[in-house]
Structure 1
């Protein structure tokens, strides 16, 4: 029997995104086939999407077609979260959803709607199959975990080797050296850094750098819980760094989207660009030609976190509806864990599941370089601030951060707006 019928409301809510993405709409129960519905927030035909569809097809074939996974995708994150809230509020939560370990996710946990993924992995002796940091990233601050990672990333600063060489610049190892490199580039009439301001989160990363070097993730945890202020010493250092590095972003960065910012860097219009290893394919040719390289987040004397500790993440997690997580679904997830790592890595992606590189696939020098880096990172990692903040506080911070970085807002106003937004949430 089908495990869960999708209601008319669910089908209607999904209809537009399903048709747009070219996916199948709600599966009709024929009385024999078990169908699991995954409401996904991933790029259609992206590496995760392709890998999961391949595994689901293999699993279905091995079960004589009596099992199917319907993937309904809404890649636009804000739209996805809005629809997910509507579905959950209406009692129509899909069998599998994509979600970060955010305050909203905690609300779902508190309501008993999500499966304890850590317990599931431990009960099935699968916990040690994963990279430790990939799992730790999915945890709430209390150590509980309700989301399963499907990706694993490091984030770095890519740089144009020719621009650096022409201007006698060395790869910076400290934050001060990084700012000094930026100043010399700007003096030479070169845009130091390309950044995607439209999506906000790339700019938010810059605000998080100094607090991470100062305190790991302790400061953002305390800030998000109303136990710290943006005006504390660490917060002021973050603001000061933001004001110093913001003038080195391209003109009009707040209106620059992801693709444009990346193209600026790859076309040599900017000397540096911060992005993660998920863009290895885009960087491959220029790296192989010796035109670009990368370095990780600089540090400084006395920093709490080490040079091999920076933003390492396992992205949006996969969570499971506790009401419909039956033995058949458990068996499928175990099948995913057994097969995912190899297939995903062969798409030139870093797997959260411990995986030896396959001899059936030729990996580039860039891939192998990043792969080795990821196996030598420290215990601490910068967890993106938008994973800790409630949605409204995050939006207030991100929107005003663009003004702060552009020099259109002062520190005091930024501090007051952020603190007020967090207080409104924590005092509810």
Structure 2
């Protein structure tokens, strides 16, 4: 009896010790997806904690436009979270080169991803992988089906049809034709220029040619999207110049705008807020029968802060992020973020299915400025924000904008000198 009692006491002590340790291990995640907070808190984190009782997780996002600056400040101050949500390509590569992200190439779980999925978070030579791929997002347009039915509108396939639809909505006067502002700038480039642009520069063909110096930002296929954006202004509603990203989201979900230039990341928020049926259409081609190209952008990964006090717990979480369980939860809890793991995920959301279905019809590419071309100063990604806004406002000619961007790139990027 004594031996049995001693054994039970030892087990009890071990459990208490384990429990005390578990309370001490809390991982904090840095992210720019502040609109996903509830879904992380209610679905993703509970699923992880249920199977990993020794680890607690906190999701602590920043505003998208402030994330890079906030994260860099925290990393420099030593106060950043254990896990770092990774933007694709150069922004995260810079963090890795600065010693802030750990090389995860030796993690067995990384074999769950294709080379293409991993390439957004690798060193140029592919030897180091510093973020676990989570998802890609697809660009296009979300529309209010009730408004389209009410006005007798069909989904546009060509640019001519696209502007004809916007004109009819404007003439009717009951809806803002398209909800997008220019106050925050990034939307004009992300949901404007890099949404419609791939149809002009032929996706990866043009993007890679620009990187190699075989094409220039003054070439017609790179200037033309600005010419098209210059036609958007009259359809964005009064005061669009001061309209913020949340303002645009609200205008659309409240049913006051008929079309929203979008990324698939909007789906979960729109589903929760809009009380009308939504549909989606891809960026219109210039002429019927043209090959279509979609921005299917490797958008989000997650890595480990090199300064974390809990490296083993952090790697445990990252291994779980690489699992089919996470892919299924993430893909369906956050419809519009399409998992990158090799294991197929059955999506439930009809709008997400509509977006991802374009992969069967069109050629996929990523945003033109994200790989290599934004490493120097001036930063081409940020310069494209300003140029896209200027095009929409009609502040500068498309040709002048192309020249300004090309001249800036040529000051530091060897293939363009």
TM-score (norm 1): 0.72
- Highest Rg: 1 or 2? 2
**Kept in 1: contact 2:132–2:322 (CA 8 A):** no
Q: Which runs of 5+ in 2 are unaligned?
A: 1-19
How many pairs are equivalent?
383
Q: Name the structure 1 match of 2:397.
A: 410
Q: Please tell me whether residue 243 in structure 1 is matched to residue 230 in structure 2.
A: yes
Q: Please tell me whether residue 101 in structure 1 is matched to residue 88 in structure 2.
A: yes
Q: Secondary structure at the match of 1:273?
A: strand
Q: Name the structure 2 match of 1:42.
A: 33
Q: Name the structure 1 match of 2:15.
A: none
Q: Name the structure 1 match of 2:144.
A: 160
Shift of 1:253: 1.7
Q: Name the structure 2 match of 1:4.
A: none
Output the CA distance in 1 between the equivalents of 2:311 and 2:21.
19
Per-residue Cα deviation, 1:363-383 (whole angstroms, up to 9, x for no partner): 55545x448627746552343
Shift of 1:346: 5.0
Cα distance, 1:323–1:226 mapped onto 2, change above 3 Å: farther
Of 248, 251, 257, the match for 1:270: 257
Cα distance, 1:378–1:75 mapped onto 2, change above 3 Å: same
Of 271, 283, 286, the match for 1:297: 283
Structure 1 vs Structure 2 CA RMSD:
4.1
Per-residue Cα deviation, 1:227-259 (whole angstroms, up to 9, x for no partner): 643211212212221223333222322211223
**Kept in 1: contact 2:209–2:215 (CA 8 A):** yes
Q: Name the structure 1 match of 2:183.
A: 198
Output the CA distance in 2 between the equivalents of 1:320 and 1:301.
46
Output the CA distance in 2 between the equivalents of 1:47 and 1:162.
28
Of 193-202 and 220-229, more deviation after overlay is shown by 220-229
Of 36-45 and 173-182, more deviation after overlay is shown by 36-45
**Kept in 2: contact 1:39–1:72 (CA 8 A):** yes
Of 343, 348, 352, the match for 2:329: 343
Shift of 1:134: 5.3
Shift of 1:206: 1.9
Shift of 1:332: 3.4
Q: Name the structure 1 match of 2:385.
A: 398
**Kept in 2: contact 1:219–1:228 (CA 8 A):** yes
Of 43-52 and 170-179, more deviation after overlay is shown by 43-52
Q: Which runs of 5+ in 1 are unaligned?
A: 1-28
Cα distance, 1:226–1:82 mapped onto 2, change above 3 Å: farther
Output the CA distance in 2 between the equivalents of 1:32 and 1:161.
49
Q: Name the structure 1 match of 2:221.
A: 234
Shift of 1:384: 6.1
TM-score (norm 2): 0.74
**Kept in 1: contact 2:298–2:366 (CA 8 A):** no
Output the CA distance in 2 between the equivalents of 1:228 and 1:74.
38
Q: Name the structure 2 match of 1:79.
A: 66
Shift of 1:276: 2.9
Q: Name the structure 2 match of 1:6.
A: none
Shift of 1:68: 4.4
Output the CA distance in 1 between the equivalents of 2:41 and 2:299.
14
Of 287, 294, 298, the match for 1:310: 294
